[in-house]
């Protein structure tokens, strides 16, 4: 039995929501391994395609069942994430001049992606202050 | 009802089966026309369970592989029989007339 094939199928299952994976992941892996040939090392293309599509469909179905409030929250998070990522892309121009700022923007992006609201707010505030530092009177900030 | 759902339910008619068991039986019953990939199978099982046509039955772990069995509910049996009757009726519309079909000669 191939542990490698199992790991590859497990990776493909990441297209499914994590709660769904916890509930059904093991039995899906069992079925996929049952359906695989004895020496098979690579996921069958049609199985891989059906897992990618199935994962996206499951996510879409679950999103459709959520409350409008949750949908707005998800949309807002996605929008903010895009802004933060664009900001991060811009920031790389100034990598040598403002490494602290870039680290903070990167931390902010990670925090927004993970849904850590407080960390994201703190990182964004400090990054904004760090970026604005040249514009502020020299005594205003401790660093 | 999709053809995948129809053959999944039909595969469970003679008792509970696990994922791969359903795939094999659906292929046998359809003369190899229905080849279910796992993503398709589990998407269909989710919908069928939501409609209460099937239930998750026992689960076993053999040689590190988890197998969960699914079984038809009474509601599922009735839905499947209803669908079969509907298809039979739809097929009759064509089969009872095929002897007297009027074909238009093809013009070259």
pLDDT digits (tens, 9 = 90+) for A101-119: 788 888 888 888 777 888 8
8 Å CB contact of A50 and B64: no
Low-confidence stretches of chain A (pLDDT < 50) are none
Distance from C-alpha of B107 to C-alpha of A68, rounded to nearest angstrom:
59
- For residue A47, the model assigns a pLDDT of 95
Task: Give B106's contacts (C-beta < 8 A, 6+ positions apart).
Answer: none
Cβ proximity of B43 and A49 under 8 Å: no
Cβ proximity of B48 and B76 under 8 Å: yes
Q: pTM value?
A: 0.67
Query: For B6-34, what is the mean pLDDT?
Result: 96
Across the interface, of B39, B40, B66, the residue whose CB is closest to A30 is B66
| DSSP letters spanning B86-100 | HHHHHHHHHHTTGGG
> What ipTM goes with this model?
0.85
Q: Which residues of B touch A55 (CB under 8 A)?
A: 39
Q: What percent of chain A has pLDDT over 90?
A: 31
Distance from C-alpha of B80 to C-alpha of B73, rounded to nearest angstrom:
11
């Amino acid at each position: 039995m191939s542990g490698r094939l199992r790991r590859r199928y497990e990776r493909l299952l990441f297209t499914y929501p994590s709660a769904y994976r916890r509930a059904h992941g093991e039995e899906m892996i069992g079925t996929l391994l049952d359906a695989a040939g004895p020496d098979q090392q690579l996921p069958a293309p049609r199985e891989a395609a059906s897992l990618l599509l199935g994962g996206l469909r499951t996510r879409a179905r679950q999103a459709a069942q959520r409350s409008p409030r949750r949908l707005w929250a998800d949309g807002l998070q996605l929008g903010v994430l895009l802004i933060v990522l664009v900001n991060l892309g811009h920031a790389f121009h100034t990598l040598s001049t403002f490494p602290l700022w870039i680290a903070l923007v990167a931390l902010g992006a990670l925090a927004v992606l993970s849904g850590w609201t407080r960390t994201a707010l703190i990182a964004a505030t400090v990054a904004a202050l760090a970026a604005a530092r040249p514009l502020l009177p020299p005594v205003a900030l401790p660093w | 009802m999709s053809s995948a759902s129809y053959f999944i339910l039909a595969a469970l008619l003679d008792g509970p089966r696990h994922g791969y068991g359903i795939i094999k039986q659906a292929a046998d019953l359809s003369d190899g026309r229905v080849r279910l990939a796992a993503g398709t199978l589990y998407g269909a099982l989710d919908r069928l369970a939501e409609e209460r046509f099937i239930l998750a039955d026992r689960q076993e772990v053999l040689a590190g592989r988890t197998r969960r069995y699914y079984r038809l509910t009474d509601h599922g049996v009735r839905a499947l029989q209803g669908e079969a009757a509907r298809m039979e009726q739809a097929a009759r519309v064509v089969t009872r007339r095929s002897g007297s079909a009027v074909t238009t000669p093809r013009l070259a």
